[in-house]
Structure 1
Amino acid sequence: MGSVGRLASYVPLSSSQALCALGTLAVTLLFLVVVRQLVRQRRPRGFPPGPTRFPLIGNILSLASEPHVFMKKTSETYGQIFSLDLGGISTVVLNGFDAIKECLSHQSEVFADRPSLPLFVKMTKMGGLLNSKYGRGWIDHRKLAVNSFRYFGSGQKMFERKISEECMFFLDAIDEHKGKLFNPKHLITNAVSNITNLIIFGERFTYDDRDFQHMIEIFSENVELAASGWAFLYNAFPCIEYLPFGKHQKLFRNAAEVYVFLLRIIERFSQGRVCQSPRHYIDAYLDEIEQNVSDKNTSFSKENLIFSVGELIIAGTETTTNALRWAILYMSLYPNIQERVHKEIDSVLPNGRPPTLEDKQSMPYVEAVLHEVLRFCTIVPLGIFRATSQDAQVSGYTIPKGTMVITNLYSVHFDEKYWSDPGIFCPDRFLDSNGNFIRREAFLPFSLGRRHCLGEQLARMELFLFFTTLLQRFHLQFPKGCLPSLSPKLGMTLQPLPYTICAVRRQP
């Protein structure tokens, strides 16, 4: 009798009952997800105020178009420090020079961490260099990178000559167009990336190396995709990883392809390595792996080497490339400014002598133009997202440990308190009444604090030498009636929309 009762209790459910049970379970799970998301969206006590948020998605939609501009405008209502909700990710936005200096300079360590965003976790496991958490791993990797840049790059007089040699390859490639229309992006990207390549690999790549060109194109695409709406949605709702569509899927496919390529190229350039006699960054990194093989807490590994190499290539190529592309665009747009640049170059470099870094101090107007390009175009408008390494007190607000922080560098360069008529492109703002170059405090294209750009010195070298050499040989112009758009292409960096230019050989 008992066994019959037990059998009766196992009578299978009808299809309608099963569907009802599944529906109830789905509704319950959805309810729990919504409640969890709404709880995450509650502002902690003492947190900065911010604009009204939509349920679940928060303020994500506000970042769909020109997020740096939206954040600056929002600061006019809520102050220089306000908060956003990015789908349950509480975020503090710093606007204006005063707020950013207070946090990144005066409380440098507190604002030196990186947020554990699902996108970064999936793509780099929070390892490597740029996205690593603040701690020993980041300190060790940054020290190695800085030493490599100093030893293999910007600290050596010989390296300046290598940059000058690359400038010649670059100019000769432009000469092949014989003054006719061409898009300079490809050549600039190749030339700039080769400077970083000399440090990482010890060699340059030819401008027709298709494999390397393909990798650079993927890097550039990922810089754009990483700041897309799909990336923000993925960080808020990682479960969309399983959707078969969306730009985040393209991002992941690109990352996987780059990972395989970098692994192959690292193996190629590490052949013939002699321990403790590094030829380039890869050799130096492999030395660190061997030296720390018995250290269980070391962060040096083959995987982090791949991440670091990829990050250094991106950082060393994207920003300087786009700065030069903007510079060429504005020189063509303002022939009167270009003429002043030509005159200064000709007066300092008689008989076509190639420029050197020592000439920089004799070219205040060239320096002013390059600084105005970096200010006006703000290549990396929101920097790389940061996080607080501990609880922070700023301007009466309490920012808990682990909070994501966005530094709006665009707002610094358009801060009316420090710049008169910031919406006007005017190199003279960097000159005094006697025409001497002057440094401006609210000029932060390379950010500030412990996480400031480690390649700043090298980038400044490249910008000066490439720009001066280019303007020494060519006059840049758009064809009559053909002016490009000045609206930027949005991504983690602001780059010009594709344009074509005429580079006409100047008379010696």
Structure 2
Amino acid sequence: MWLVVGLFIVILGLLVFLDTKKPKNYPPGPKWLPLLGSALKVIKERKRTGYLYVATAEMSKKYGPVVGLKVGKDLLVIVYGSQALKEFLTSEDLAGRPTGIFFEMRTWGKRLGIMLTDSDFWQEQRRFVLRQLREFGFGRKNMSLMIEEESDHMVRDIEEMMGNRGHLIADMESIFNIHVLNTLWTMLAGVRYSSQDKGLKELQGILGELFAHIDMVGAPFSQFPVLRFIAPELSGYKRYVKTHLHVWDFINREVKRHKESHNPAEPRDFMDVYINILNSPDRKSSFTEDQLLAICMDMFMAGSETTSKTLGFMFLYLILNTDVQKKAQEEIDRVVGRNRLPSLEDRPNMPYMECCVLEALRMFAGRAFSVPHRAMRDTHLQGYFIPKDSIVIANLHGIHMGDECGFDDPEEFRPERFLKDGKIHLRDNFIPFGFGKHRCMGETLARANVFLFTASMLQHYNFNIPPGCPPSMECIDGVTPGPKHFKALITPRR
């Protein structure tokens, strides 16, 4: 009996010891504890600094541009710094996407969609999505017309909410959400939603809550799977499931509506084209109804969220820097005037307005992480060993707002930092949409949205700090960074 107990203790001790032992030549980082790895250290530093991107930036100063962590069951590598980041984003060995419950439960336990898939499946589906979206205006003149139309709705909505009072105090971190979604959803599903749509506002509110409570490396239940059974609420599992049930229901209703009104000879949007493929006897096995739902969910959750947060940063800094606002308005008046809305054709003649967009993107990216990658096989990064299936993620702070960004006073909002001799000048390390084969496919639409929405709003209105309501400079530390709740006093330009 005692021999069995002794043997059990020895085996348990050996397993505990092995769980704290790092792979040979693994990137440097904090010590590992049994089962927890370096989770407690990360939590402590995140609590001390207030943000995960700051905590990991400080770790990189101590350990180097590649930081090796272990959080629960996951080997996690944080990349910080220009050279390491470019090597990482161009590596074929590190071009995979993570697996596991957190990344697959959102698509019914399968690897579906385009945001979190890889290899041949990802290439085929991404190529198809881009080709079909272009047919419905993506990256073309029709896209500008569509955004201009949505900008007009947005300006009129503000005017209607303002009424006869001559001013409006608005919640700026969410005022763009539905308008941004409409520019994407029109191409995907041929639908435009009212900015006052209660169901969609509620859904986006739920989604915003989820994104604020998880981050790019997952949630406690993904790193410690047992927590979804013993602490479903505390681990984030319950919120994760609830949010995705709402999103699934929303998209399912739209696909059902399309199937009922579908005319194969006259596809109206991306959904119709995909349904045509599903009904074709020659369709490939990667084209399924679940994959259609997953693509739409990727677009809904990622496409609208990041652009809305960038616009939130834009207007936060515009109300804090009214001199920037006035310079942009002077350029808008000079190039566009007041009798029509700005268009993308005006963009080459509006360098200062375009620099405002670049600066807002820098403020967003400087607090963001890349979408996680997975090591497809045992490999190396900056000379360190990266085991197969490790999660690798880039902290974009250093190249946009940190010591390597090359900008003076990087915390300040200065659009003119992108101007040189009156022309726009970008540094090589300015990559708010990523780099390499996984560069964000929505870059064209996102930049167009931020440019036209901002220019249209500034053409018609002034934005200032409401009396007694100074905005907080604190940010949301979640999947996508964004300003915390703030209001703006909106008045018509006379």
Common fold: TM-score over 0.5: yes
Aligned equivalents of 1:48 and 1:344: distance in 2? 49
The alpha-carbon deviation at position 481 of structure 1 amounts to 4.4
Which of 449, 455, 471 matches 2:442?
Answer: 455
Residue 289 (str. 1) matches residue 273 (str. 2): no
Q: Secondary structure at the match of 1:353?
A: coil
Cα displacement (A) at 1:121: 2.4
Alpha-carbon distance in structure 2 between the residues aligned to 1:190 and 1:269: 21
Q: What code does the residue aligned with 2:32 have?
A: R
Distance, in Å, in 1 between the alignment partners of 2:7 and 2:309 is 50
Which residue does 1:98 correspond to in 2? 83
Residue 122, structure 1, aligned to residue 110, structure 2: no
Residue-by-residue CA offset, 1:328-368 (whole Å, 9 max, x unaligned) = 11111011111111111111113433211121111111111
Shift of 1:209: 2.2
Q: How many residues align?
A: 478
Quote the offset at 1:377 in angstroms. Answer: 2.9
Structure 2 SS opposite 1:85: strand
Maintained 8 Å contact 1:183/1:500: yes
Give the structure 2 partner of residue 359 of structure 1: 346
User: Aligned residue for 1:43?
Assistant: 22
Q: Report the CA distance between 1:448 and its aligned residue.
A: 1.2
Q: Which amino acid aligns with 2:260?
A: Q
**Residue of structure 1 equivalent to 2:63:** 78
Cα shift at 1:250: 1.5
1:85 Cα shift?
A: 1.0
Query: Counterparts in 2 of 1:97-496, with a 5 A limit?
Result: 97-105=82-90, 107=91, 109-124=92-107, 125-175=109-159, 176-177=161-162, 178-227=166-215, 231-243=218-230, 244-246=232-234, 247-275=236-264, 277-291=266-280, 295=284, 298-378=285-365, 381-421=368-408, 422-432=410-420, 434-496=421-483
| TM-aligned CA distance change 1:391 to 1:190, over 3 Å | same
| 1:88-121, Cα deviation, whole Å (9 max, x unpaired) | 311111111221112213x2x2222111132112
What do the CA deviations read for 1:237-257 (whole angstroms, capped 9, x no partner)?
Answer: 211111253232121122123
- The answer to whether the 8 Å contact 1:170/1:187 transfers is no
Residue pair 1:218, 1:258 contacting (<8 A) in 2 also: no
Q: For 2:29 and 2:327, how far apart are their aligned partners in 1?
A: 46
8 Å contact 1:163–1:195 — kept in the other structure? Answer: yes
1:159-213 Cα deviation digits (max 9, x unpaired):
3111101101101111222412121344311111111110111121112222222
In 1: Cα distance, 2:170 partner to 2:215 partner = 29
* Structure-2 change in CA distance of 1:351 and 1:304 (3 Å): closer
1:500 is the counterpart of 2:487: yes
Structure 1 residues 31 and 194: CA distance shift in structure 2, 3 A? farther
1:31, distance to aligned residue in structure 2 (A)? 9.6
Over 3 Å counting, the alpha-carbon distance change for 1:48 and 1:345 in structure 2 is same
Once the 2 structures are TM-superposed, how far is the Cα of residue 437 of structure 1 from its aligned partner? 1.4
Cα deviation for residue 402 of structure 1 reads 1.6
Instruction: Measure the CA separation in 2 of the matches of 1:409 and 1:193.
Output: 25
| Structure 1 letter corresponding to 2:337 | P
Structure 1 position 57 matched with structure 2 position 41:
no
Instruction: For residue 168 of structure 1, give the secondary structure of its aligned residue in structure 2.
Output: helix
Q: Distance in 2 between matches of 1:236 and 1:92?
A: 14
Displacement of 1:276:
6.2
How far has the Cα of 1:424 moved from its partner?
A: 2.7
After TM superposition, give the deviation of residue 28 of structure 1 in Å.
10
Give distance in 2, aligned partners of 1:321 and 1:443.
Answer: 20
Distance 1:418-1:240 versus aligned 2 partners, 3 A rule = closer
Structure 1, gaps ≥5 residues long: 1-19
Q: Secondary structure at the match of 1:101?
A: helix
TM-score w.r.t. structure 1 length?
A: 0.87
**Mapped contact 1:40–1:89 kept (Cα < 8 A):** no
Q: Which has the larger radius of gyration?
A: 1
**Residues 81 and 99 of structure 1 are in contact (CA less than 8 Å); yes or no, is this contact kept in structure 2?**
yes
CA distance in 2, matches of 1:292, 1:458: 33
Separation of aligned partners in 1, 2:187 and 2:180:
12
Distance 2:9 2:147 in 1: 58
Q: What secondary structure is seen at the aligned counterpart in 2 of 1:187?
A: coil
Other structure's SS at 1:475 match: strand
Q: How far off its partner does 1:75 sit?
A: 0.9
Match of 1:12 in 2: none
Using a 3 Å threshold, how does the CA distance of structure 1 residues 375 and 215 change in structure 2: closer, same or farther?
Answer: same
Distance 1:468 1:300 in 2: 39
Separation in 1, partners of 2:442, 2:72: 33
The answer to whether the 8 A contact 1:199-1:280 is kept is yes
Q: Tell me the secondary structure at the aligned position of residue 169 of structure 2.
A: coil
* Aligned partners of 1:120 and 1:126 also within 8 Å: no
> Contact 1:50–1:83 at 8 Å: present in 2 too?
yes
CA distance in 1, matches of 2:211, 2:7: 38
In 1: Cα distance, 2:8 partner to 2:370 partner: 37
RMSD: 2.6
Distance in structure 1 (CA, Å) of the matches to 2:196 and 2:468: 32
CA distance in 2, matches of 1:139, 1:276: 27
Cα–Cα, structure 1 residues 482 and 277, in superposed 2: closer, same or farther, change >3 Å? same
Distance 1:30 1:211, change over 3 A: farther
Secondary structure, aligned partner of 2:423 = coil
Aligned AA (1:353): R
Cα separation, partners in 2 of 1:38 and 1:367, compared to 1, 3 Å: farther
Q: Is the 8 A contact 2:152 2:341 kept in 1?
A: no
**What SS does the aligned partner of 1:287 have?**
helix
| Secondary structure class of the residue paired with 2:439 | coil
Three-state SS of the structure 2 residue aligned to 1:71 is: helix
